[in-house]
Amino acid sequence: MALHRRFIRRIIVAAALSLGLGSTAQAADEIVLKFADTHPLTHFLSINGHQAFMKRVQELTGGKVKFQHFPAEQLGKEKDMLELARKGLADIVFTGAGQSSGKLPLGGGADLPGLGADVVKNTRAYQVYLNSNTLVVDEFLKMGLRPFMGFMYPPYQVLSGSKPVQKIADLKGMKIRINSPVMGSAIEALGGTPVMLTSPEVFEGLQRGTVDGTTFSYISGKSWKLEEVVKYGTVGIDVGTVASFWAINENTWKKLPDDVKQAIRKASDETSAAMAAAADKEEKGIIADWEKKGKGLYHLTAADQTEWGNKVKPAIEQWITTMEARGLPARKSVEQLWKIRAELN
């Protein structure tokens, strides 16, 4: 019987350790953070974002901080990420501002078109924005979350599997996948019909004809293997972007020692900057590679860009008006980001 009890105890201890519930001595020496995201380990953001960040934190803390990583929606779907962190089922999560607009409505303003094509400066501005005293950070804190790292994708293009898109008129009647209401407003302003799909659903949507095209960066297009179903694309339009962020449960954050908080801040600044530089290089490389493979990519002229830019401007005001009708200080929130970005020029 005693042998049986010792065997059961070993099983319980092993299970506790697998869940990060070690002994008191272990807990004092080691901090284990659960990190959930939506990307496969081969995705650009996983390699240059999630994995790079975790490795850097471990380096800066001398191994004091370790991570339990749950990639590729293992812990929950994209729509579940904020709730996972809010409820403490994960300590850190990754998602996009637009995808979280139901819970963080002001956050969607970071997806608006008009910031420009400089991924490095846009990302730096967003990183500062998420770590400053801004209205968006207030939204996070009210949910029990704290943002600490941000990344701005290159301006989204239109990738199509059915027909070339070169002029605004080409979008008329096309079903275009979007991933946020902000981008939906831009597509509507251009004459397309927006269809909301998450990133993992895009390939099948194009393959089955549920959508005719998608808004995406070329980085994401490659990561989700869209070159198998995409024949055409634009280069040089700006229908908005995806502002992505990493957030930590606020209670978890408060319990962390100051040296660990400092390590997370430093790792997030370094990772965010490196990710943006890598994204800029990667985006240009994928465009060149797809053209070599015969994809019909249309590079907008300066006149084209002005025309497209003027056409989507009403979408910016529409978003602000809609948010302010709900009693939200949308213009002030967006202007906080725009001011930070303008100071980097």
- Is the residue at 64 inside a domain? yes
Mean pLDDT confidence for 17-22:
40
pLDDT digit string (tens) for 112-147? 999 999 999 999 999 999 999 999 999 999 999 999
DSSP-derived pairing of the beta strands 243-249 and 145-152: antiparallel
Which of 227, 262, 280 is the C-terminal boundary of a domain? 280
pLDDT at 5 over 60: no
- Is the residue at 3 inside a domain? no
Structure tokens at 277: 């530089």
pLDDT digit string (tens) for 218-229? 999 998 999 999
- 79 and 193 in a single domain? The answer is no
Contacts of 264 (CB under 8 A, 6+ apart): 57, 148, 248, 256
The closest alpha carbon to 206, from 235, 168, 177, 239, belongs to: 177
pLDDT digit string (tens) for 163-185? 999 999 999 999 999 988 889 99
DSSP 3-state assignment of 22?
Answer: coil
pLDDT digit string (tens) for 264-299? 999 999 999 999 999 999 999 999 999 999 999 999
Domain count, the chain: 2
Eight-state DSSP code of residue 98: G
Residue pair 211/134 in contact by the 8 Å Cβ criterion: no
- 91 and 123 in a single domain? The answer is yes
- 231 and 334 in a single domain? The answer is yes
**What residues make up the domain containing 318?**
157-241+282-342
- Is the residue at 298 inside a domain? yes
- Is the residue at 333 inside a domain? yes
DSSP 3-state assignment of 58?
Answer: helix
The closest alpha carbon to 190, from 218, 210, 217, 170, belongs to: 170
Beta-bridge mates of residue 296: 232
- 201 and 237 in a single domain? The answer is yes
Per DSSP (E only), the strands in the chain are: 31-36, 65-70, 92-96, 145-152, 157-160, 175-178, 193-196, 213-216, 232-235, 243-249, 296-299
Which of 280, 299, 334 is the C-terminal boundary of a domain? 280
- Is the residue at 8 inside a domain? no
- 122 and 135 in a single domain? The answer is yes
- 110 and 127 in a single domain? The answer is yes
Buried b (16+ CB within 10 A) or exposed e, 64-82: ebebebbbebebbebebbb
- Is the residue at 196 inside a domain? yes
Structure tokens at 333: 């929130």
- 140 and 71 in a single domain? The answer is yes
pLDDT at 58 over 50: yes
The closest alpha carbon to 176, from 154, 97, 167, 185, belongs to: 185
- 162 and 55 in a single domain? The answer is no
- 74 and 84 in a single domain? The answer is yes
- 294 and 255 in a single domain? The answer is no
- 220 and 73 in a single domain? The answer is no
The closest alpha carbon to 178, from 235, 83, 99, belongs to: 99
pLDDT at position 8, please? 40
- Is the residue at 182 inside a domain? yes
Which of 280, 302, 331 is the C-terminal boundary of a domain? 280
pLDDT at 343 over 90: yes
- Is the residue at 127 inside a domain? yes
- 104 and 227 in a single domain? The answer is no
pTM of the model: 0.88
Q: What is the CATH number for 223?
A: 3.40.190.170
